[in-house]
Amino acid sequence: MIDFRYHLISIIAVLLALAIGILAGSGFLGGPVLSDLRHRLNNIATDNSGLQKDVATLRKTTQQNQVFAQATEPWLVQTALAGSAIVLLEPQGTDTAASNNIVSAIATAGGTVRSTITFTDKLALADPTSVNQLALTIHSTSGAGRKLRDQAAMLLGERAAAAASRSLSVDTGKPSEDALRFDDLLNQLERNGFITRDQSQSGMAAAPGTLFVVLAGSVDHPPFPATDFCLTLARSLAAHSAVVLAAEPSTSTWNFVSTVRSDARAQKTVATVDNADTVPGGIAAVLGLREAIRGRIGNYGFGPGADAVIPQPAVSPS
């Protein structure tokens, strides 16, 4: 049982605390401290208002720059890829906006994305069935997931580059043996769920003179080790004399382009664009492919290792 005197003392203590609080609020805080707090709050409100105006100005400037870039894009890329066929290779989960932007820029430049090949999350090789299916498809004896993916990427690059080779092509009116072998590999990979294909044109996936864009990246986690796979793929394409450009959205967390730029074998043979989701990135991809056809490999965008925003125009002889 609670003692009455203890109960009374508790009530007195509470009342005393309330009294001290009231005196402190009306006296001590009502003086310099309260005035200082009000002054600080007014400064914060003023700063916040100024920041909101700055944000509105920056947003307006960004919108105007975007409109300007969209208006100038046709002038910059017109006919740059006229008559060219491009195969777009991308892992599942790659930013759709970047993919659409690249396809649109290529179309504006007179080129055509002949086929879009998407590598699915089955390449995570998370179960024995997937491992066995990929091993059988590429005729490998390896049971290690990473090694199998590397072998698949190398084989894809080799066969795609052979199908696109002009020097090995003979105009017989029929698909070349290399084109048939590349399509056969794609068919097997598609049947087993490792890729999906969006074919915009009938016929083979790659014809002589086909160019390749390897696009990878988003803000989300990749469904399998996509950066390593795409680096191996791009390296293999370039090693077999294909024209290839590696691209990534500016918001991506996959570090695909930076990996290509720092790779000793890829940095001199694979062109790169690090802002593929933007209008300048689309322009850079188109002009970067055109320069790569001419044997000039560059790195474009705003990220580490970029040479320029877009390829620099050739200096006319005086």
Reported as a pLDDT band with limits 50, 70 and 90, residue 166 is low
Phi/psi at 68 (5° precision):
-65, -45
From residue 72, how far is each of 59, 120, 169, 312 by CA, in Å?
A: 20, 36, 37, 16
Give the whole-angstrom CA distance, residue 133 versus residue 315: 53
Q: Are 119 and 156 in contact (CB under 8 A)?
A: no
Phi/psi at 270 (5° precision):
-120, 120
The Cβ of residue 318 has, within 10 Å, a number of other Cβ atoms equal to 3
Which of 217, 271, 280, 220 is CA-nearest to residue 243?
271
The model's pLDDT over 299-316, given as tens digits with 9 standing for 90+, comes to 999 999 999 999 987 654
End-to-end CA distance of the chain: give it in Å, rounded.
107
Asked whether the predicted pLDDT for residue 1 surpasses 90, the reply is no
What is the arithmetic mean of pLDDT over 140-156? 90
Asked whether the predicted pLDDT for residue 181 surpasses 80, the reply is yes
From residue 50, how far is each of 40, 47, 61 by CA, in Å?
A: 15, 5, 17
Biggest alpha carbon–alpha carbon distance for the chain: 111
At residue 52, the pLDDT reads 81
Percentage of residues of the chain with pLDDT beyond 90 = 62
Q: Are 245 and 292 in contact (CB under 8 A)?
A: yes
The model's pLDDT over 70-85, given as tens digits with 9 standing for 90+, comes to 667 777 778 999 999 9
At residue 66, the pLDDT reads 67
Asked whether the predicted pLDDT for residue 27 surpasses 60, the reply is no
Reported as a pLDDT band with limits 50, 70 and 90, residue 317 is very low
Phi/psi at 247 (5° precision):
-135, 155
The model's pLDDT over 188-207, given as tens digits with 9 standing for 90+, comes to 999 999 999 987 666 777 88
- 99 compared with 57, residue with greater pLDDT: 99
Structure tokens that stand for 308 in this block: 């320029």
- 172 compared with 58, residue with greater pLDDT: 58
Asked whether the predicted pLDDT for residue 318 surpasses 50, the reply is no
- 282 compared with 169, residue with greater pLDDT: 282
Asked whether the predicted pLDDT for residue 62 surpasses 90, the reply is no
Asked whether the predicted pLDDT for residue 186 surpasses 60, the reply is yes
Asked whether the predicted pLDDT for residue 69 surpasses 80, the reply is no
The model's pLDDT over 108-145, given as tens digits with 9 standing for 90+, comes to 999 999 999 999 999 999 999 999 999 999 998 877 78
Asked whether the predicted pLDDT for residue 16 surpasses 50, the reply is yes
- Residues, the chain: 318
The Cβ of residue 208 has, within 10 Å, a number of other Cβ atoms equal to 18
Asked whether the predicted pLDDT for residue 33 surpasses 70, the reply is no
Q: Are 236 and 248 in contact (CB under 8 A)?
A: no
- 72 compared with 262, residue with greater pLDDT: 262
The Cβ of residue 292 has, within 10 Å, a number of other Cβ atoms equal to 22
